[in-house]
Amino acid sequence: MSILVDKNTRLLVQGITGREGTFHTEQMIAYGTNVVSGVTPGKGGQWFEGDQKKIPIFNTVKKAVEITEANATVIFVPARFAVDAIYEAADSGLELIVCLTEHIPVLDMIKARAYLDTKKSRLIGPNCPGLLTPGEAKVGIIPGSIGRPGHVGLVSRSGTLTYEVMYALTERGIGQSTCVGIGGDPINGTNFIDVLQLFEDDPNTEQVILIGEIGGNAEEQAAAYIARHMSKPVTAFVAGQTAPPGRRMGHAGAIVEGKSGTAESKVQALREAGVKVADNPDKIVDLIAA
């Protein structure tokens, strides 16, 4: 088993005819993901003619879902259109929405998150690399070649560190159940606790890696959840431990206010919850293998 995506995922690509959508659709198909349809308004009735598969293009998500029975979507749409793409996907009843788009205004995401809370759809992202269940399905931009099927679940706010840790695990012969990039924006659709709960309930996941970073209090909240509800071992790393105080770092999700959101406070909370915390990313695999 796995979480969120597997061989039964029937994927729709919103923005399939754009440069990024075209390139990554080819990559997802090559990995073995069952991409069944695409959506680009004004191009309905045309075909996405890839190297390996022809995919019908529709003007609307609703029509694509009706015809192809898609149950998940990945959004490759510019920021000014991305929230409308999320609304359209949710209104069409899709179970999983993965939005990779960066630079969506926070106020727009607050409204979108409130709307999604009234629907049955789960959003991963925005500003995330997507997710990968090795050997089954790739939804997003995580390189499929660095994954290996196994029993370690990974959830991360950082795309780059997701890739680094996955590669290190695979090099050591340690496979992954599912790797989930939740994104680093302050308002997202799925948080650490959501994914930790899914891994806790997944019989194929035996232990979990959590990769956090400075800013916000998501890691502290995750630590409280782990202490109360997780029976599986959790190993963590928090990026930004050497960030100079008082300096703006990275994206909006990495804003530190006073003592809240610092790497030190997150590491302390995780260790108090019984989590093994690595001092640098290279040490994560050593802690997992120990």
251 is catalytic: yes
Q: In sequence order, which residues have a C-beta less than 8 Å from that of residue 251 and are 6 or more positions away?
A: 127, 184, 185
Residue written as token pair 């040490």: 283
Residues 81, 156, 247, CA angle at the centre, nearest 5°? 80
Q: Which of 24, 151, 229, 251 is catalytic?
A: 251
Token pair for 58: 């529709």
Are 154 and 179 in contact, with CB atoms under 8 Å apart? Answer: yes
Are 77 and 53 in contact, with CB atoms under 8 Å apart? Answer: no
Q: Where are the beta strands (DSSP E) in 182-226?
A: 207-213
Sign of CA dihedral 52, 99, 171, 23: positive
Q: In sequence order, which residues have a C-beta less than 8 Å from that of residue 61 and are 6 or more positions away?
A: 12, 14, 39, 73, 85, 88, 89, 91, 92, 94
Are 137 and 71 in contact, with CB atoms under 8 Å apart? Answer: no
Residues noted as catalytic? 251
